[in-house]
Amino acid sequence: MKKVLIGFASIAMAFTLAACGSKTVATTSGGKITQDEYYSSLKDTTSGKQVLQEMIVNKVLEKQYGDKVSKKTVTKQYNSYKDQYGSSFKSILSSNGMTTSSLKTQIRSNLLLKEAVKANDKISNADLKKEWKSYEPKVTVAQILVSKKSTAEDIIKKLDDGGDFTKLAKKYSTDSSTKNKGGKIAAFDDTNTTLDSAFKKAAFKLDEGKYTSAPVKTEYGYQVIKMINKPSKGKMSDHTKELKERIWNDDMSDSTTLRSVITKVLKKGNVTIKDKDLKNVLDDYLGSSSSSSK
């Protein structure tokens, strides 16, 4: 979710830029401030130019790849964030100045950019083989989170004595988003960046049906983990889709790749800058002679 939140302040400002005119933004004892005045002031700032860059990129992405990102896909990713953060989801949105609508807008922008990456990123067999070396299929685990090590140790003793993991999770876990599910969390692989690294390391060591013999110390407290489903790795040819997805996700975090992709998208976008003061706004992507003003 942190990646989704990056740059949101700029996107929020974009709506202000888009609505400029002669209407009054504010009044003071010294006079009024119009939208035109606000726009003129904002466009001279670095943040204002970045907003325009984002607006242009989003427009051309929507034109070129909009039919590949459905409302259902956006909602699905939104719900995954909502499920992941449980009862704290609303407070996380609020603390980042976001709403349900603005988060979905940002999710869509990210999905459009990923479609552009997929369309412009040529993946070779050598790339697939390299990714295969580190590949681990998604596993499903359940966990019980508590604040004290001694409590986690007591839970493990109860499991050793034949206790039911699901019932113990519902009784003891402090994780409100998973306790009523018997501690079960969404399937994940080694590329997951939202889970604590110590948690992932301990989980991947477990065989199916086994649980951790000692509490796992994470940033959230102490966790007892049980492996529910651990598929075998199988053959590379059986996982081509997953391998490509991993490579595309890596590229979404690579600034050089993203710059190259956005440049290609903008070149196809037939962009014309009408404001002469902003004629160089796309120079970072297209060079000084690429974007025209009319």
**How many whole angstroms separate alpha carbon 177 and alpha carbon 158?**
23
Q: According to the model, what pLDDT value does residue 2 have?
A: 47
pLDDT at 35 > cutoff 70: yes
Position 292 confidence tier, pLDDT thresholds 50, 70, 90 = low
pLDDT at 168 > cutoff 60: yes
SS3 state at 7: coil
The structure's pTM equals 0.68
Please answer whether residues 242 and 190 qualify as being in contact, where contact means their C-beta atoms are separated by less than 8 angstroms.
no
pLDDT in tens, 180-191: 999 999 999 888
pLDDT in tens, 78-103: 998 888 788 889 999 999 999 999 99
DSSP state of 220: T
Closest residue by Cα to residue 51 from 115, 118, 109: 109
pLDDT at 3 > cutoff 80: no
Domains by residue range for the chain, with CATH:
2-120+254-293 (no CATH), 136-229 (3.10.50.40)
Bridge partner list, 226: 142, 211
Percent of the chain at pLDDT exceeding 90: 73
Question: Which of residues 1 and 138 earns the better pLDDT score?
Answer: 138
| 222-249 mean pLDDT | 94
